[in-house]
Structure 1
Amino acid sequence: MSRNVLERVLWQLSVERAAKERFREEPRKFLGRFALSPEEVDMVVDFDVAALQRLGVSPMLTMGFWQELSPSRDMRLYKERLGATDNEYAGFSAALKG
């Protein structure tokens, strides 16, 4: 697991315009610059925020990454990906603990 590398990637994708553009154009090519396993690359490309958080990636980074680059940017979908139920939609949390 490369938690620190994943966090650096998500931070870069959340704040650097050029990184966002390169990721949007060719996500796997962009991620190829980093020491990530194929599974970690899949997590980022698939916006698997729950898996990223299970690896210890900061919930604030996963949320920022989702808001900046996910196809939908819908926070309800983000929370669903984290395992939220209908009862948990009223409040907001970057991470949902099971």
Structure 2
Amino acid sequence: MSRDDAHRFLIAYDVADDRRRDRLAKCLLRHGDRVQYSVFVVDVSAARMLRLQHEIAGLIVAVEDSVIYCDLGVARSVDVARYRVVGRSRHVTGSGPIII
């Protein structure tokens, strides 16, 4: 995936069952950064986001759980400095180049 086509999403959930909640958290950890207990920041292309939403739909029970997806815009233009955290903060991967 080119980082040029990735959007940064804020994904938050409220899942009633511990087992489903753990599975959802593990799924989201594979795709992004946990910024709060049930809030993640994920950089993905449109196609990957559709696949992620489909995967998440298979992990939750829609009548009991909820997931919110907030598109924050093109990942390369979303500066981590725009986040304001009061209290303990967690690392959010920047939108610059990733060196492996």
TM-score bucket (shorter structure): 0.3 to 0.5
Structure with more of its chain in strand, by fraction: 2
- TM-score, normalised to structure 2's length? 0.35
Structure with more of its chain in helix, by fraction: 1
Higher relative contact order (CA 8 A, sep 6+): 2
- TM-score, normalised to structure 1's length? 0.35
The higher radius of gyration belongs to: 2
